[in-house]
Amino acid sequence: MQVLSLAITLFFVLDPFGNLPIVLSLLNKVEEKRRWKVVLREALIALVLLVVFYAVGPQFISLLGVDSSDLTICGGVVLGIIALRLVFPDERAGNGKEEEAEPFIVPLAIPLMAGPSALATVMIMAAQSAANPLAGLGMMTLAWFVTAVLLLLGVLLGSFIPPRLLIAFERLSGLLLAVISVHMVMTGVKAYLTVAS
């Protein structure tokens, strides 16, 4: 799979449209003029984590004794599950206790911005772009940058964004992610069949 398509996949996994309502609710108790600083700080922490996993991804994969086709199929299955959750969300998920203090690292940076699925996608990107790691790193940073900008804009304009519009974007992201997940699984299966034949 091309690095650009993996970067697009990472953008949908980072899911800024789906995470924005959660981010806004978590920052509800934070002073309004400080909210964008908190989001920027958490986004930078998430970027550091993504870069670390991108750097150690190939070594970790080889240590486990798996190849890129294994990781591609696994990533496709995980993304499929994420896509289903985006299209058919659990309405009970938002009923937890509200955070009183300013969020730090958890839950904004981890797991909202850099959760297990994003880290797995980054490791797949590292394996797929082993021949040109700087290109993969650039695409990963681009996906993170667009996500961070959308979250910052969402926090700054939060009161003007209709909730139904956010829900529509989240459902659309889920549908596109489902298509990408099927493509990833089929790519891995084709690689297995090619080796077997």
Spatial separation of the C-alpha atoms in residues 183 and 2, rounded to whole Å: 12
Domain with 52, as residue range(s), is: 3-196
Q: Is the pLDDT of residue 78 over 80?
A: no
The number of folded domains in the chain is: 1
Nearest-5° angle of CA 89, CA 90, CA 94? 105
**Residue 192 exposed, middle or buried by CB count within 10 Å (0-12, 13-18, 19+):** middle
pLDDT at 48: 96
Q: Is the pLDDT of residue 98 over 50?
A: no
176 vs 3, higher pLDDT: 176
Helix (H) or strand (E) holding 45: helix 35-64
- The token pair that represents 79 in the structure block: 């993304």
